[in-house]
Amino acid sequence: MEIIPAALLMLITALIAALILAFASRYMGVKVDDTVRRVRNCLPGANCGACGYAGCDSYAEALAKGDVGPELCLPGGSEVARLTAEILGIDPCETRKLVAYVHCNGTPDVTQRTAEYDGLMTCSAMCLSCGGPGLCKYGCLGCGDCASKCPTDAIFIKNNIAIVDPEKCISCGICIKVCPKHIITFIPVEAKVAVICSSHDKGASTRKKCSAGCIACGKCERSCPYGAIKVIDNLAVIDYEKCTGCGICAEICPVSCISKLGEFNIKYRYKPTQNNDISK
Amino acid sequence: MELFKSLTVILLGSILINNYVLSRFLGICPFLGVSKKTDQAVGMGVSVIFVMFLATAVTWPIQTYVLSEFGLEYLETVVFILVIATLVQLAEITMKKYMPTLHKSLGVYLPLITTNCAILGVTINNISDGYNFIESIVNSLGAGLGFLLAMVLFSSVRSKMEGTNVPKALKGLPVTLFAASIISLAFVGFSGIVDNLWG
């Protein structure tokens, strides 16, 4: 019977607390802007701060003001971005400017492995053992650390290479952080070409290791009419500020390590390559 | 004079010797989480002082005049959590209505510290140490000031660490915990000072 006073006391305390709060919010509550409230209801409410604001409330306020786009919420992902964009009457695609891209095309038919790897099947573990079993020490390890971390399942592994589906990518940047080889970067969503190699080895050395690797011949640099490509540290780098997407570089590259993009990277990134023979 | 002496001992004791973060290891979560920048750390510290003061001012009478009266002292944890949560909510609503600028600077931290263990720890320690009402209030203010001190000290250490080249294995939380333990060691040096403050 000892429980009765205890239970009663808890009940009374809770009741008083509830009443106080109810009256306080009824008579002292500040009217929140309706848009802010609706946007706030869409957000996950985890107050994680991944968007760069102090919490979901302040992010909702910034969204309603139109200061930022709806793509910043990482836990919410594209679903939340879509819902908030609907409320605010903006196009969620317009706000998305970047997609992740894997700069490697070292499939088993163009490069070899030097060793059999028999350890933990994650890229980070693989990278710790002498940089991985591949001949090229710059390339994709293909264990899918990025794919397992991707919140929207936009990354899959095909032919031992990670591939990002630009339709599903929410540009959260998690894959860029987890990749131990640092071969994933952001490229503009409207980019028409991309370099699919990350090797900084000298041309001849790269060529021995991977027939799809950038040999730093500089042909792209010379033939780009807009001066958008530079070979920096033995690797072609595209300046997307200047690139117009004419596609000349992709056509003349002797090892086809510059890829045309669009139509989901020309149906899962295009094949290594028609004019693969360097002697031509 | 006696009263003043004993209150100073309690105040300095809870700031330096029994610092809630660095000696009793309560409230570690905001201590590690919000100490990256000094201005945020100050905001958090001030909010904690405010909430600790309010919580003590309300829970001490509840314990003495309600719980002890009915012999229900064992309910203190549950009742205190309930009361503190309500109180913080109420404070937030009031603040939002009448002091919007203050709410802007402190408001984000208030929900975070609603059921913070340091706050619950202070209110329960006030009871278990047998403090009277004034002593409890002073103790809670001291605990809050101690929290603010720890936050500010630690945030400056962390901003120094930002630019240093930390070994890869220790980056992030590990090196932060090392730094926290070293600061906490420094606070051990204060023990015994306050006991002999008035001879």
- Residue B144: the pLDDT is 93
The region of weakest confidence among A96-110, A232-246, B54-68 is A96-110
Within a domain: B96: yes
**Cβ–Cβ below 8 Å for B83 and A14:** no
Please, which residues 53-92 of chain A have a Cβ atom closer than 8 Å to chain B? Answer: 54-55, 57-58
Read off the amino acid at residue A190: E
Chain A interface, best mutation among B72, B73, B94, B115, by max A CB count within 10 A: B72
The region of weakest confidence among A88-92, A141-145, A187-191, B39-43 is A88-92
Chain B interface, best mutation among A15, A30, A31, A40, by max B CB count within 10 A: A30
Cβ atoms of B148 and B42 within 8 Å: the answer is yes
* Three-state DSSP class for residue A116: coil
Tally C-beta pairs within 8 A across A and B: 48
- List, in sequence order, the alpha helices (H) in A28-76: 34-42, 56-65
- Residue A276: the pLDDT is 46
**Cβ–Cβ below 8 Å for A10 and B78:** yes
- Residue A87: the pLDDT is 82
Mean pLDDT, all residues of chain A: 81
Output B100-109 pairs: Cβ under 8 A, ≥24 positions apart: B100/A30, B105/B43, B106/B43, B106/B46, B106/B47, B106/B50, B108/A54, B108/A55, B108/A57, B108/A58, B108/B43, B109/B30, B109/B34, B109/B43, B109/B44, B109/B47, B109/B48
Separation of alpha carbons A266 and A229, rounded Å: 21
- Residue B59: the pLDDT is 92
* Three-state DSSP class for residue A42: helix
- Residue A93: the pLDDT is 53
For residue B104, give the chain A residue with the closest CA: A58
Q: Cα-atom radius of gyration of chain B, to the nearest Å? A: 18
- Residue B154: the pLDDT is 92
Chain A: closest CA distance from residue B91 (Å): 10
Q: What is the pLDDT of residues A5-58, one digit of tens each?
A: 888 888 998 999 999 989 888 887 777 778 888 888 888 776 666 677 777 888
What's the DSSP call for residue A43?
Answer: S
Question: In Å, how far are A6, A8, A167, B59, B71 from A1, measured between CA atoms?
Answer: 10, 12, 64, 26, 14
For A98-268, which CATH class? alpha beta
Residue segments in chain B with a per-residue pLDDT below the cut of 70: 105-108, 115, 199
Q: Is residue A271 pLDDT above 70, yes or no? A: no
**Cβ–Cβ below 8 Å for A13 and B93:** no
Cβ atoms of B68 and B127 within 8 Å: the answer is no
- Residue A278: the pLDDT is 43
Within a domain: B127: yes
**Cβ–Cβ below 8 Å for A24 and B108:** no
Give contacts of B89 with chain A, Cβ < 8 Å: 21, 24
**Cβ–Cβ below 8 Å for A21 and B90:** yes
Give contacts of B111 with chain A, Cβ < 8 Å: 47
Q: Which among A9, A28, A47 has the least Cβ separation from residue B72?
A: A9
Q: Is the dihedral of CA A200, A204, A208, A212 positive or negative?
A: positive
Give contacts of B112 with chain A, Cβ < 8 Å: 47
- Half-sphere exposure for B104 (CA within 13 Å, toward CB): 4
**Cβ–Cβ below 8 Å for B97 and A30:** yes
Q: What is the pLDDT of residues A160-173, one digit of tens each?
A: 889 888 888 877 77
**Cβ–Cβ below 8 Å for B70 and A9:** yes
Q: What is the pLDDT of residues A64-99, one digit of tens each?
A: 887 777 777 766 767 788 888 888 877 665 445 678
Closest by CA to A101, choosing from A206, A195, A205, is A195
pLDDT average, residue stretch A129-150: 87
Chain B interface, best mutation among A4, A16, A28, by max B CB count within 10 A: A28
Residue owning tokens 């420094």: B186
Q: Is residue A272 pLDDT above 50, yes or no? A: no
What is the ipTM score, two decimals?
Answer: 0.72
Number of domains in chain B: 1
For residue A17, give the chain B residue with the closest CA: B86
DSSP string over A204-234: HHHHHHBTTS-----HHHHH-TT--EEEETT
Question: In Å, how far are A98, A192, A242, A255, B126 from A226, measured between CA atoms?
Answer: 22, 14, 7, 21, 74
Q: Which among B79, B85, B93 has the least Cβ separation from residue A24?
A: B93
What residues have CB less than 8 Å from B61, skipping those under 6 apart? B133
- Residue B56: the pLDDT is 93
Read off the amino acid at residue A64: A
Domain boundaries, chain A: 33-96, 98-268
Within a domain: B21: yes
CATH, domain range A33-96: 1.10.15.40
Q: Cα-atom radius of gyration of chain A, to the nearest Å? A: 26
Q: Is the dihedral of CA B84, B90, B96, B100 positive or negative?
A: negative
Question: In Å, how far are A166, B40, B150 from B47, measured between CA atoms?
Answer: 44, 11, 14
Cut 0.80: pTM above it: no
CB of A2 within 8 Å of any CB in chain B? no
Closest by CA to B6, choosing from B122, B139, B119, is B139
Question: A115 is written with which tokens?
Answer: 């060793």
Q: Which helix (H) or strand (E) element contains residue B33?
A: helix B28-33
**Cβ–Cβ below 8 Å for B82 and A14:** yes
What's the DSSP call for residue A27?
Answer: H
Share of chain A above pLDDT 90, in %: 4
Domain range spanning residue B49? Answer: 2-190
Going by their DSSP bridges, the two strands A98-102 and A184-188 should be labelled as antiparallel
Query: In this structure, what is the dihedral angle of CA atoms A41, A42, A45, A49, given to the nearest 10 degrees?
Result: -130
Give contacts of A25 with chain B, Cβ < 8 Å: 93
Separation of alpha carbons A109 and A98, rounded Å: 30
CB of B97 within 8 Å of any CB in chain A? yes
Query: In this structure, what is the dihedral angle of CA atoms A133, A139, A145, A146, given to the nearest 10 degrees?
Result: -170
Q: Is residue A279 pLDDT above 60, yes or no? A: no
